[in-house]
Amino acid sequence: MHRPNSAEPSRRSLLRGGLGLGAAATAGLAADLWPAASARAATPAAARAATAVDYPSATWAPASTANYTASNRPSSYPIQMVVIHVTQETFADTISLFQDPAHAAAAHYVVRSADGAIDQCVREHDIAWHAGNWDYNTRSIGIEHEGWVDQPSYFTTAMYHSSAALTAAICDKYGIPKDRAHIIGHVQVPGTDHTDPGPNWDWVRYIRLVNGV
């Protein structure tokens, strides 16, 4: 995850966050994210928003505009890296947190563990606050993966394949080399005390998939 100047959220801070979100998140939005999303898609506004994704198979689930910086990349800043994260939250709670204007963080994409479904929360031309480092944020795309660094069962084959296809498309679009110097973990961002994606993330497998081998 990606609170700009703090550690990866501890379970205690997650609990506080969950309580802070209140009944709406736990009872409604979070538990019923997908039915709610399809209901919203029937409205004209959501239909327009649905066309805003940069990756065709992603679902548009916009973050609060308070959680990123509007920009016009790659004119304003080159896009040179993909940063891999693990949420330390459920998929639905992550989307809810990104929609909370007080969260002060969001990533461009969130990948769901069970089936590899992808939500886009911030447009690629905008600067998402995900790496906790302004310079890295300006030059990267952030992808969150549903799960916990110490629970490898969340890193499913569906998630690896779906995320790798997304990263491959981003690399092709912006001319980013498909290697570990340019596809990095949050843990590799200078100044961070975050550990994601952690030792259970299979980098060899992931980079192979990004390269289509």
Binding site for Zn ion (CB under 5 A): 1-2, 85, 186, 194, 196
State the minimum distance, in angstroms, from the CB of residue 194 to Zn ion. Answer: 5
Q: Specify whether the CB–CB gap between 64 and 159 falls below 8 A.
A: no
φ, ψ (nearest 5 deg) of residue 132: 70, 25
| Other C-beta atoms lying within 10 Å of the C-beta of residue 21 | 18
| Other C-beta atoms lying within 10 Å of the C-beta of residue 175 | 10
- Whichever of 7 and 41 has its CB closer to Zn ion, that residue is 7
Residue 135 CA to residue 161 CA, distance in Å, equals: 29
Show the tokens assigned to 141: 């795309």
Closest CA to 84 of 176, 189, 5: 189
Residue 210 CA to residue 179 CA, distance in Å, equals: 9
- Whichever of 54 and 196 has its CB closer to Zn ion, that residue is 196
State the minimum distance, in angstroms, from the CB of residue 111 to Zn ion. Answer: 13
Residue 78 CA to residue 182 CA, distance in Å, equals: 13
Residue 165 CA to residue 183 CA, distance in Å, equals: 13
State the minimum distance, in angstroms, from the CB of residue 8 to Zn ion. Answer: 7
State the minimum distance, in angstroms, from the CB of residue 71 to Zn ion. Answer: 20
- Whichever of 1 and 209 has its CB closer to Zn ion, that residue is 1
- Whichever of 48 and 133 has its CB closer to Zn ion, that residue is 133
Q: Specify whether the CB–CB gap between 25 and 93 falls below 8 A.
A: yes
- Whichever of 110 and 209 has its CB closer to Zn ion, that residue is 110
State the minimum distance, in angstroms, from the CB of residue 195 to Zn ion. Answer: 9
State the minimum distance, in angstroms, from the CB of residue 2 to Zn ion. Answer: 5
- Whichever of 85 and 178 has its CB closer to Zn ion, that residue is 85
Residue 116 CA to residue 51 CA, distance in Å, equals: 20
